[in-house]
Structures are given as structure tokens and as C-alpha cells.
Amino acid sequence: MGKKKKIRENFDEIFKSGDEKKIKRMLHEHPWLLEEVSNEMNQLMEKEQQIVAALGIMEDELGDAVPINEILYCLKADFDIRKSEVEVKEILENLIPLELVVKKPNGWSLTNEGGTICDDYINRSMKFQD
């Protein structure tokens, strides 16, 4: 198991460097790395989608931009997810360059693309509850 840990650490360094040739070579030599990276990306995307969904729900309810405390409330009440204000703000800030959310003086709002992601996440979540 120690060998995998060393390979994983080496891959993390190469990934951070952005050297595509080395990244591809490592993934070719160690195919299990791709599955690990994919799982990590899926988990990160899931967190982002949860926050987008909570924002969308509250935006529909309030009819305006949503303060962070309302997003936190929705995450807890509707999805049984507890996140810190710092974590939610950080994720929202990371979603701005992706043009999924916009920050307004009185809170946060979804873009059209963010609204689509919100709807997709909610529809997927509802299927699991049936």
C-alpha cells in the first residue's frame, strides 16, 4: 500500500505542475489513478451542485438574490447538509468564473447555466427519493 501512496503523491505534484505529457504518462502507467481522480472530481462537483441547488430553491422562494445564511438554511433543511459559511462562500466564489452564479450587493443569484445545473441536480435527487 505504501507504493500506491508514493505514486499518488508523485501524481499530485505532477498534476499541480500542469505538465500534460507527464500527467498522461502517469495515468497510462497507473490506470487506477484515473478512477481516483474521477471520484474526487465527482465528489467536488456534487458539493458545488448542492450549493447551486440550494441557491436556486431560495432564489425561487425569495424572488431575489439570496443571502448566504438562506443558502445555509436551505442546505440544512432541504438536503440535510451542514456546511460552514466559509466553505459555501468559497465554493460560490469559485463558481463565478464558471458563470454559474453572480454576486450581487444583497446576495447571490444563478445565471441561466446555473439554473440548468440546479434543475438537473434537483431532478436527479428526486429520483433517488422515489
Inside any domain, residue 24: no
Output the CA angle 118-124-129, nearest 5 degrees.
125
Instruction: Note the pLDDT of residue 130.
Output: 46
Establish if 20 belongs to a structural domain. Answer: no
Span 21-65, pLDDT tens digits = 988 898 889 888 888 777 777 777 888 999 999 999 999 999 999
- Identify whether 28 is part of a domain: no
Does a structural domain hold residue 41? Answer: no
Supply the CATH number for residue 82's domain.
Answer: 1.10.10.10
**Exposure of 31 by Cβ count < 10 A (0-12 exposed, 13-18 middle, 19+ buried)?**
exposed
Residue 31 pLDDT: 86
Phi, psi torsion values for 103, nearest 5 degrees:
-95, 130
Predicted confidence (pLDDT) per residue in 102-129, tens digit: 999 999 999 999 999 999 888 888 765 5
- Establish if 67 belongs to a structural domain: yes
Task: Look at residue 57 in the predicted model and tell me its pLDDT.
Answer: 95
The mean pLDDT of 71-82, rounded to a whole number, is 94
The answer to the question of residue 120 being in a domain is yes
Mean pLDDT of 51-80: 95
| pLDDT recorded at residue 127 | 63
Backbone angles phi, psi at 115, to 5 degrees: -65, -40
| Structural domains counted in the chain | 1
Range of the structural domain that residue 57 is part of: 47-129
What is the separation of C-alpha 22 from the centre of its chain, rounded to a whole number of angstroms? 26
